Amino acid sequence: MAFFKPQQRTKDRFSLLLLDLEEYYFEQHTAYTASSRSGQKKIRGSLKVCSRSVIFDPQDPTGPIIKIPLRDCKKIGFVQKETNPFNEPKPPIISISCEQVIFIKEGNVIAPYRNERGPKIMSFELEIWSKTEDVVQTLLQLHRASCLEKLGDQTAMIAANLQSRLARSSFDKNCFQSVAEKPHEECAAEMVTPLVSNPGHVCVTDKNLYFQPLNGYPEHVIPIRLHRIRRIYKRRHGLKPLGLEVFCTENEPCSDIYLKFYSTADRDEIYYYIASFLENHVTELTAESYMLQWQRGHLSNYQYLLHLNNLADRSCNDLSQYPVFPWVVSDFTSSQLDLTDAAAFRDLSKPVGALNKERLDGLLTRYEGMPEPRFMYGSHYSSPGYVLFYLVRVAPEHMLCLQNGRYDHADRMFNSIGETWKNCLEGATDFKELIPEFYGSDSSFLENGLNLDLGRKQNGNSVSDVVLPPWASDAADFLQKHRAALESPFVSEHLHDWIDLVFGFKQRGGEAVAAQNVFHPLTYEGEIDCDSIEDTDQRIAMLTQILEFGQTPRQLFTGPHPQRITPRLQGAGRSSSVTSAAGEPSPASPVEDSSFEDLTEESRKMAWANMGGLRRISGHRIHKEAVTGIAVTRDGASIFSTSQDSTLKMFSKELQEFQRSMSFSNMPLSSCLMLPDGKTVACSSWDNNVYFYSVPYGRRQDTLMGHDDAVTKLCWFDDRLFTASWDSTVKVWRRASNGSSNHRRSQFELLAELEHDAGVNSVDMNAAGTLLASGSKDGTVAIWDTSSYRTLQQVRCHTGTVHCVSFSPDSRHVLSVGEDSCMKVLDVQTGMVISSVRAEEEQRCFCWDGNTVLSGGRTGDLLLWDLLSSTVTKRIPAHSGAVTAMWMSELCNAVITGGDDKQIHFWGLQC
């Protein structure tokens, strides 16, 4: 379906689109046209009193709708005809002497308006005679406003009239759908639809949200059930924080109602009441959470762009902020569209104005010689005019409203997709992007289904359907192939570049200048404070210019947007993981191994999908203090655990009892790690040392005295050991090949020392051993290149200590949990925090698969999180104290946890 919802075509031909922009419809009265000529038939209809005009809508659908602009009226009078007591009484008449009358929808055909200029007298009789004098007084008052010299004075007088009407009325509580409803808040507001606003009253109860138009149009009351609402957003309307948009669907781009309030306080009161009412079944997702879903393939490019537009204040109800989509195809001349050819696509790293170098050079020359504030492009990529340029065939009345009753010149209309693209590349002032309809399923905007007379071009041809590229057999085929282009691997790999330009860090400032992406200052949010302009006329003119010129979306990202993880990129990542230390690719694995890897990956996915069925098998208290680390032998027979009681203990899974207890010092042990040989357990200690325990010999094998403060966590890859410490370093060690356990000197030699600004609490390594992540006491998460030992990213993610960090299986993201009860997903490539979830309690440890997290919290429960929706899907009671350690098997089908309650628990999946 189309995003744009054209006016419903009913027997009621009147529409708010017949009014001027920024005009209000106040009231209507059943009336007749009156004539001084005897025998002339009266025409029955509806007389509409509007803030800048009088409109007569005849009952006869073939008759024209008559519009009389109040500014063109010379005299408005009340004519009381003399009555003879012996004859029938004569009705009073509203007499309007004017210089112009506008005729609309003659013959019930949507067409440009016909204006008749010259002196005219129009007369109307109201069906209810007693109201005639009141209507005349209202018209005289509005006529005075329309004839004021200054536009600001006109606007102020009309606004005063509107507010007076709203103050004299209130929401009719007889419209409640249930007598048991309890009203919470009532205030004045306007319902916003494309190009028009309709004033009335909003009322929210414990069951419904109501809007009652002041004029009863199009319905007496519009109800929305609160339990049906799925999304609700604050909006910037007319550059002010006054808008509120309500959706009753998860993915539908068109909202159920868009309201504009007269004060931010009223808007916020309604918003927070509905939001609190809905908090149990509505999740307000952020740009970062949508980014994570898109990046991992759970949202299509189309869906992701829709969500970004929505979050950036773009709405189908506001043509000055209509959703913006990119041109992605550049080939509109070939007979076949080859989506495997990069040349068929537009360069998404550049704005439309920078795609043509020759044109850009001229624009930059002008830019360099321009006084401040400078801009490269004199028009925008999205504006009401551009939206209706594309949609004129399905929304002709909107175009006529925007252009004072006229269509554009036939040669300037949307005649051909290829010609439009060519003009966007070569035109001196044409830099427009596309709208969502180009990637939807409703092709009606490309076809002249209403048989509109849109004029003739200079070559004599009538404007009809849009001319399609040769590679499209019809409009539906064009949309299908165009959507396929949007979802193609090429666009998926480069769409983040366009997002940087429109919604991200290249939208403004020095990055925008470097990207040749600078538009007029009026288009940017916050650049112009219209309220500070004292001259009313100048302020209104400035606001009108801003709304008509186009507005840049609200900036959503301040850092580079991560690239999407496409199958091609995942394949590249897999290849890099088997690169040898010398940098040469390792020999290809046998087919059998690949099949085994695929089977293992499938098993992991199935295990995570069933993680909600995690059940406790047994629990054992084997320590005297909190458990700090868990390690398991390769065969799973023996489990090792460390504790703040300074002991390393070995537990037999088969015998269900602990068999050994080792103490290396009188200080707590902070973690343990099973080395790849399967025979050695490494333990970190608060006494600044790392101890190595030999499983076969049952004794300490080696001691590494490597730090100046407590050692907190350990990682191992190939022959390298990574040790994290509260002395603000992570040290990299290599086991000496000629070392001997009989010497007191450690077998390890120091390779590198990674400096931090605070004590390091946690480290993790990606599967390939190429990246190291560290989390510090100051809330910083750092990512290091293990070949050069340089910092790739350093991001302040948390406001307190980082408890745990871990790479996703594909090495694209790092998840961290901290003292601030937040769970953050960091993109490795860009360093951007792409998801942030605040838990009800502090999380201490976790395992994850990139989408789902199993975490242990301070209360002792295990929480299963869906990061893509930022929600807890399962809470599993576990320990009587905080969960402090967690281990998961390679196939993710077994979990062991340790806690402050001194116990370790064994868990298994029940499908």
CATH 1.10.1540.10 is held by the domain 309-549: yes
Residue 368 phi, psi (nearest 5): -65, -30
Asked if the peptide bond before residue 396 counts as cis, ω within 30 degrees of 0, the response is no
CB 501 within 8 A of CB 509: no
d(CA 706, CA 730): 10
Neighbours of 384 (CB within 10 A): 22
Q: Which residues of the chain have pLDDT under 70?
A: 1-11, 35-40, 81-88, 279-284, 531, 567-600, 737-746, 911
Residue 242 phi, psi (nearest 5): -125, -10
- In sequence order, the 6+-apart residues with CB closer than 8 A to the CB of 74 are 97, 98, 99, 119
Looking at the structure, give the CATH architecture of the domain made up of residues 16-166.
Roll (2.30)
- Where do the structural domains in the chain lie, given as residue ranges? 16-166, 170-284, 309-549, 618-739+747-841, 842-911
CB 195 within 8 A of CB 4: no
According to the model, what pLDDT value does residue 591 have? 34
What is residue 434's DSSP assignment?
A: B
CB 398 within 8 A of CB 388: yes
Rounded to the nearest 5 degrees, what angle is found at the Cα of 245, between the Cα atoms of 244 and 249?
Answer: 150
Radius of gyration of the chain (CA): 35
CB 726 within 8 A of CB 760: yes
d(CA 376, CA 370): 9
Q: What are the structure tokens assigned to 224, written together? A: 């929305």
| Nearest alpha-carbon partner for 550 in 410, 386, 708 | 386
Q: How far is CA 227 from the centre of its chain?
A: 23
Residue 684 phi, psi (nearest 5): -95, 150
CB 27 within 8 A of CB 34: no
According to the model, what pLDDT value does residue 634 have? 86
Q: What are the structure tokens assigned to 611, written together? A: 């993680």
Q: What are the structure tokens assigned to 636, written together? A: 């799973």
- Counting Cβ atoms within 10 Å, is residue 654 exposed (0-12), middle (13-18) or buried (19+)? exposed
- Counting Cβ atoms within 10 Å, is residue 641 exposed (0-12), middle (13-18) or buried (19+)? buried
| Nearest alpha-carbon partner for 704 in 646, 714, 754, 645 | 714
d(CA 621, CA 721): 31
- In sequence order, the 6+-apart residues with CB closer than 8 A to the CB of 281 are none
Round to the nearest angstrom and report the end-to-end CA distance of the chain. Answer: 40
What burial letters (b/e) apply to 269-292, b meaning 16+ CB within 10 Å? bbbebbeebbeeebeebbbbbbbb
Fold equal for 618-739+747-841 and 842-911: no
Residue 265 phi, psi (nearest 5): -65, -40
d(CA 836, CA 284): 12
Class of domain 618-739+747-841: mainly beta
| Nearest alpha-carbon partner for 55 in 7, 16, 92, 106 | 16
| Nearest alpha-carbon partner for 481 in 382, 345, 323, 296 | 345
Rounded to the nearest 5 degrees, what angle is found at the Cα of 450, between the Cα atoms of 448 and 456?
Answer: 55
Q: How far is CA 260 from the centre of its chain?
A: 21
Residue 309 phi, psi (nearest 5): -60, -45
pLDDT digits over 171-227, tens only? 999 999 999 999 999 999 999 999 999 999 999 999 999 999 999 999 999 999 998
- In sequence order, the 6+-apart residues with CB closer than 8 A to the CB of 366 are none
Task: Please give the single-letter amino acid code of residue 103.
Answer: F
Fold held by 842-911: Thrombin, subunit H (2.40.10)
d(CA 395, CA 847): 53
pLDDT digits over 803-858, tens only? 999 999 999 999 999 999 999 999 999 999 988 888 889 999 999 999 999 999 99
d(CA 753, CA 472): 61
d(CA 664, CA 97): 105
According to the model, what pLDDT value does residue 5 have? 55
Q: For residue 330, give the 3-state DSSP assignment.
A: coil
Class of domain 170-284: mainly beta
Q: For residue 185, give the 3-state DSSP assignment.
A: strand
